[in-house]
């Protein structure tokens, strides 16, 4: 019996395909330039049927199927394109449309020989029909020093390109331009290239480079911003930079957050918001509403079509720090969204670019990083005490926990500004760069303050790093973290009092980043331990209504007669109660601020507390509802002590090894940031050494370099016995970089 339903369906589909073919029979596919392997092959489509919205694949969908000489096929969407010319007018970029908009296809061939291109068209979401075919020849190209797409390397620690070349990254965030637009990137990228950098991270945002990031742009993309991204991608390839493209920032889903003065609340301009005609009544609806997800996938399709061709697209990053909006957003919905959209990209990106997202440094969301759709993890390091060691520890933990490469995607000694006043000699900056590069992440820590890096001409530090690492072979072979012998962390207990020690006074350095909690307890044995107190103590004491478990800050020391504690309360959230205890007994209990205050209250009130002689524990607490922040905690007449177990400060080191070769970065115990950050000439470290465990016995040669200039400082020899390689350090003040070879 004939199935009439299937027959009528077949006839209808055939009739529609015939109608599409007749309407598009005159589509012309023309190559814009001769095709070369691993270079952009771009095609122009002419006489394409008109559609009300050329960005909507439900109205008009054009897909090209490329068949390589080997028989491998790639399905690549076409996209709607408008060319522009640019001008610089009084320092600001101006774009003018050049010609009429048109359809284009972009493809990067990986083989030489004859390719076949077949073009399919679908109108109004109906069955597609082939509307054009052509063939073209791809010749060899000698212009690219390396070939291939970025992928996860076999060791799952680093990246490489699909031709097997290791890809280790030196770079920074260059997220948006200033008034110069693409001219800014021309300048920045050229300087980055000259300094040995090969990586930049970009944002798509409502103020720059966003395609669907303002009212009226829902599935109607900004072609001027798309052209700017074209230019940036072209410039990046010219300068050898790999780009991580961040598709959204968390502010697009913030409604009334007071952080950054409320300037980050972009839900009001989000085209997905119902107030702008979108399908989402609340920010969380973006992650759950079927219509919103379908519209977003259309944007992903456009991005794949327009930028997926690029071998210098390192990967797609869905969000910048989306957990900043957790609270209004439900984490489980955000997690499910990442799984779905990551899977969509895996299925529809013909070039299989890497996929990731990013979170704040104070929030490790194991659920997101464990998703198989996320190809690598990220950590954002701001105001971390001992930042170099921190990023190396995080890299080791993430790599072990998730079995994926890990990137320090943002970094800075300050989260609010460039922070050069607090780090004038860029000690913290260098420590983040070098310990990111040698601590097991995919490359350097990627600094955030790119405009300041350029204005202050900090590029020399990148040049020094890339030069030394290049000499050491960091860009080739298989490197793994080396085992550095260490005494372990500073003890939490004092040893004996040094009999002839002279009492000292010290202002404790406290950490002022409020996103994470430190241990909250420190012992002060000598002046250096006061300078390094930021590794343990914070200035921020949350109140009972903060939702954060209060952690009192405790200090233990031995005091001489006449000792005092002096400190200031800088400000409070609205109202707070400052409490100071000595050995568990309240010696200060005072209410501060006003219960009805709606903004933080500047207090700046000083206190002095007499301390009895002997060993005592001082405890700072907050018994109020809202937070308070301490400042300038000073101890007078502290008696020098040993640490428990004879522990002493020593230089800190991180290292990589490749067989019997090594790369080492060493930081003086006196300049572990922020200790002695403001001191022009720190104490000289003499007669120190670093021990690497697990090396083959024998003699080794070490060349030592100055990380600030890349200049060679010294040559030494070392011998490994019983698997321990002891590297004697030349005298130094700040830091050292070393290359170890047999």
pTM: 0.94
Residue carrying structure tokens 């997800």: 293
Q: How many Å apart are CA 503 and CA 496, to the nearest integer? A: 14
Q: Are 541 and 622 in contact (CB under 8 A)?
A: yes
Q: Tell me the CATH number for domain 648-741.
A: 2.60.40.1180
The 10s digit of each residue's pLDDT in 482-497 is 999 999 999 999 999 9
Assess whether the region 175-364 and the region 648-741 belong to the same CATH fold. Answer: no
Q: What pLDDT score was predicted for residue 144?
A: 58
Burial of residue 173 (CB within 10 Å: 0-12, 13-18, 19+) is buried
The CATH superfamily label for domain 175-364 reads Glycosidases (3.20.20.80)
Split at pLDDT 50, 70, 90, the class of 12 is very low
Backbone angles phi, psi at 431, to 5 degrees: -60, -40
| Whole-number Cα distances in Å, 48 to 80, 105, 123, 127 | 11, 13, 11, 17
Q: What pLDDT score was predicted for residue 145?
A: 57
Of 143, 117, 121, the closest CA to residue 130 belongs to 121
The 10s digit of each residue's pLDDT in 217-228 is 999 999 999 999
Q: Are 552 and 520 in contact (CB under 8 A)?
A: yes
Question: What does the block give as tokens for 424?
Answer: 């004038």
Residue 322 DSSP label? G
Question: What does the block give as tokens for 221?
Answer: 């993309």
pLDDT greater than 90 at residue 599: no
The 10s digit of each residue's pLDDT in 373-411 is 999 999 999 988 899 999 999 999 999 999 999 999 999
The 10s digit of each residue's pLDDT in 524-561 is 999 999 999 999 999 999 988 877 766 789 999 999 99
Of 280, 203, 305, 188, the closest CA to residue 244 belongs to 203
Q: Cα 89 from chain centroid? A: 33
Which secondary structure element, helix H or strand E, spans residue 491, and what is its range?
none
- Beta-sheet strand order (sheet of 313-320): 171-173, 199-203, 242-249, 313-320, 354-356
Residue carrying structure tokens 């300037």: 263
Q: How many Å apart are CA 297 and CA 290, to the nearest integer? A: 11
Question: What does the block give as tokens for 76?
Answer: 């690549």
Q: What pLDDT score was predicted for residue 15?
A: 46
Q: Which CATH architecture has domain 494-645?
A: Sandwich (2.60)
Which secondary structure element, helix H or strand E, spans residue 634, and what is its range?
strand 628-638
Split at pLDDT 50, 70, 90, the class of 585 is very high
Q: Are 318 and 409 in contact (CB under 8 A)?
A: no
| Whole-number Cα distances in Å, 613 to 2, 365, 610, 617, 700 | 103, 46, 10, 12, 52
The 10s digit of each residue's pLDDT in 681-693 is 999 999 999 999 9
Q: What residue ranges do the domains of the chain occupy?
A: 4-139, 175-364, 494-645, 648-741
Class of the CATH-defined domain 4-139: mainly beta
Query: How many other CB atoms sit within 10 Å of the CB of residue 516?
Result: 14
pLDDT greater than 60 at residue 21: no
Strand partners, 89: 92
pLDDT greater than 60 at residue 326: yes
């Amino acid at each position: 019996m004939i199935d009439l339903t299937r027959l009528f369906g077949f006839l209808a589909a055939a009739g529609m395909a015939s109608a599409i073919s007749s309407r598009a029979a005159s589509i012309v596919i023309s190559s814009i330039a001769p095709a070369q392997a691993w270079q952009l092959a771009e095609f122009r489509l002419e006489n394409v049927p008109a559609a009300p919205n050329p960005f909507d694949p439900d109205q008009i969908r054009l897909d090209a199927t490329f068949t390589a000489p080997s028989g491998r096929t790639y399905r690549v969407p076409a996209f709607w394109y408008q060319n522009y010319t640019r001008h610089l007018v009084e320092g600001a970029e101006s774009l003018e449309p050049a010609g009429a908009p048109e359809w284009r296809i972009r493809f990067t061939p990986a083989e030489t020989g004859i390719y076949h291109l077949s073009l399919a068209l679908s109108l109004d979401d109906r069955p597609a029909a082939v509307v054009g075919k052509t063939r073209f020849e791809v010749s060899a190209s000698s212009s690219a020093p390396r070939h291939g797409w970025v992928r996860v390397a076999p060791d799952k620690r680093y990246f490489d390109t699909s031709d097997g070349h290791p890809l280790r990254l030196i770079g920074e965030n260059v997220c948006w331009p200033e008034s110069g637009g693409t001219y800014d990137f021309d300048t920045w990228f050229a300087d980055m290239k000259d300094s040995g950098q090969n990586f930049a991270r970009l944002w798509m945002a409502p103020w720059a480079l966003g395609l669907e990031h303002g009212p009226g742009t829902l599935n109607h993309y900004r072609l001027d911003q798309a052209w700017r991204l074209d230019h940036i991608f072209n410039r990046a390839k010219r300068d050898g930079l790999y780009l991580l493209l961040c598709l959204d920032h968390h502010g697009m889903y913030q409604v009334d957050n007071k952080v950054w003065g409320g300037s980050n609340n972009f839900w009001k301009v989000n085209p997905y918001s119902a107030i702008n005609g979108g399908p989402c009544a609340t920010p969380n609806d973006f992650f759950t509403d079927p219509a919103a997800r379908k519209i977003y996938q259309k944007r992903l399709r456009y991005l794949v079509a327009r930028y997926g061709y690029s071998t210098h697209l390192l990967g797609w990053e869905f969000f910048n720090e989306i957990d900043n909006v957790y609270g209004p957003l439900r984490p489980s919905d955000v997690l499910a969204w990442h799984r779905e959209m990551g899977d969509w990209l895996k299925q529809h990106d013909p070039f299989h670019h890497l996929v990731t997202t990013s979170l704040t440094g104070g929030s490790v969301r194991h659920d997101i990083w464990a998703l198989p759709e996320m190809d690598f993890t990220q950590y954002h390091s701001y105001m971390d005490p001992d930042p170099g060691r921190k990023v190396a520890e995080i890299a080791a933990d993430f790599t072990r926990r998730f079995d994926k490469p890990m990137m320090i995607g943002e970094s800075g000694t300050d989260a609010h500004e460039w922070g050069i006043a607090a780090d004038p000699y860029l000690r913290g900056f260098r420590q983040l760069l070098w310990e990111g590069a040698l601590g097991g992440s995919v490359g350097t820590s990627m600094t955030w303050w790119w405009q300041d890096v350029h204005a202050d001409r900090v590029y020399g530090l990148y040049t020094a790093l890339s030069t030394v690492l290049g000499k050491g072979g960091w860009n080739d072979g298989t490197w793994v973290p080396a085992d550095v012998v260490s005494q372990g962390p500073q003890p939490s207990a004092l040893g004996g009092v040094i009999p002839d020690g002279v009492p000292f006074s010290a202002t404790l350095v406290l950490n002022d980043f409020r996103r994470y909690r430190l241990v909250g307890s420190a012992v002060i044995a000598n002046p250096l331990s006061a300078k390094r107190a930021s590794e343990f103590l914070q200035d921020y004491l949350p109140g009972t209504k903060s939702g954060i478990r209060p952690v009192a800050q405790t200090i233990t020391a031995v005091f001489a007669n006449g000792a005092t504690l002096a400190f200031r309360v800088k400000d409070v959230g609205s109202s707070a109660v400052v409490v100071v205890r000595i050995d568990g007994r309240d010696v200060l209990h005072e209410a501060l601020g006003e219960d009805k205050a709606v903004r933080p209250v500047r207090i700046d009130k000083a206190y002095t507390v007499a301390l009895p002689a002997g060993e005592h524990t001082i405890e700072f607490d907050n018994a109020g509802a809202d937070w308070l922040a301490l400042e300038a905690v000073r101890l007078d007449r502290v008696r020098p002590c040993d640490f428990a177990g004879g522990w002493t400060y020593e230089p800190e080191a991180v290292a990589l090894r490749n067989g019997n070769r090594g790369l080492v970065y060493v930081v003086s115990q006196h300049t572990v940031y922020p200790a002695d950050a403001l001191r022009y000439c720190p104490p000289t470290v003499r007669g120190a050494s670093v021990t690497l465990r697990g090396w083959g016995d024998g003699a080794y040669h070490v060349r030592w370099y100055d990380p600030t200039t890349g200049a060679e400082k010294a040559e030494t020899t070392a011998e490994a016995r019983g698997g321990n390689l002891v590297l004697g350090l030349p005298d130094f003040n700040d830091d050292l970089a070393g290359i170890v070879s047999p």
